[in-house]
Structure 1
Amino acid sequence: MAIVGKEYCDPEKERVLTVRKTSHFSPGDGFAAYDHRTGGLAFRADTYGRGHGGGAASPGELALLGPAGEPLLTVRRRRPSLHQRWEGFLGARAGGQKPLFSARRSSILGGGGAVVELLPSSSSSDPSSVLLRVDGSFPRRCCRVVMPPRGEGEKEKVVAEIRRKVDVSARVVMGRDVFVLRVSPGFDAAFAMGIVLVLDQIAGDEAGVDAGEDVLDAIAKI
Structure 2
Amino acid sequence: MAAGKTSMMPIISKLYCSSSQTVLLVRRRPHVVNGGGFVVSDCCTQKVVFRVDGCGVLGTSGQLILKDGDGDALLLLRRKEGLVEALSIYRKWKGYTLDYERSQKVVFNLKDPVSCLLRNNAIRICTEPRVVSNKGWDFEIRGYFPDKNCSVVDSWGNIVVQVGVKKEVEQVMESKDFYHVVVKPGIDQAFVFGVIAILDNIYGESTYC
TM-score interval (norm. to shorter): 0.7 to 0.9
Letter in 2 for 1:203: Y
Alpha carbons 1:27, 1:200 under 8 Å: kept: no
Structure 2 unmatched runs, 5+: 1-8
Equivalent residue for 1:181? 181
Equivalent residue for 1:86? 93
Query: Is 1:116 the equivalent of 2:125?
Result: yes
State the distance in 2 between where 1:117 and 1:20 align: 27
Q: How far apart are residue 73 of structure 1 and its match?
A: 0.7
Instruction: Kindly provide the CA deviation profile for residues 55-112 of structure 1, in whole angstroms up to 9, marking residues without a partner as x.
Output: xxx84421100111111111011113232211110126956x4421111224533589
Q: Give the 3 Å change call, closer, same or farther, for CA 46–171 of structure 1 in structure 2.
A: closer
Letter in 2 for 1:161: Q
Equivalent residue for 2:10? 2
Equivalent residue for 1:162? 163
TM-score, length-scaled by structure 1: 0.72
Q: Give the 3 Å change call, closer, same or farther, for CA 111–180 of structure 1 in structure 2.
A: farther
Which segments of structure 1 move beyond 4 Å, counting only runs of 4 or more?
Answer: 25-28, 92-95, 110-113, 170-173
Alpha carbons 2:98, 2:105 under 8 Å: kept: no
Letter in 2 for 1:15: T
Equivalent residue for 1:217? none
| SS at 1:99 equivalent | strand
Equivalent residue for 1:218? none
Equivalent residue for 1:39? 46
Identity of aligned residues (%): 28
Q: Give the 3 Å change call, closer, same or farther, for CA 143–35 of structure 1 in structure 2.
A: same
- Match for residue 69 of structure 2 among 64, 67, 70: 67
Q: How far apart are residue 115 of structure 1 and its match?
A: 1.1
Query: Is 1:137 the equivalent of 2:144?
Result: yes
Which protein has the bigger helix share?
2
How large is the RMSD of aligned CA atoms in angstroms? 3.0
| SS at 2:25 equivalent | strand
Q: Give the 3 Å change call, closer, same or farther, for CA 175–72 of structure 1 in structure 2.
A: same
Structure 1 unmatched runs, 5+: 150-155, 206-222
Letter in 2 for 1:3: I
Once the two structures are superposed, the pairs formed by residues 207-222 of structure 1 within 5 Å of their partners are none
State the distance in 1 between where 2:21 and 2:162 align: 11
Once the two structures are superposed, the pairs formed by residues 2-41 of structure 1 within 5 Å of their partners are 2-11=10-19, 13-24=20-31, 29-41=36-48
TM-score, length-scaled by structure 2: 0.76
Alpha carbons 1:131, 1:147 under 8 Å: kept: yes
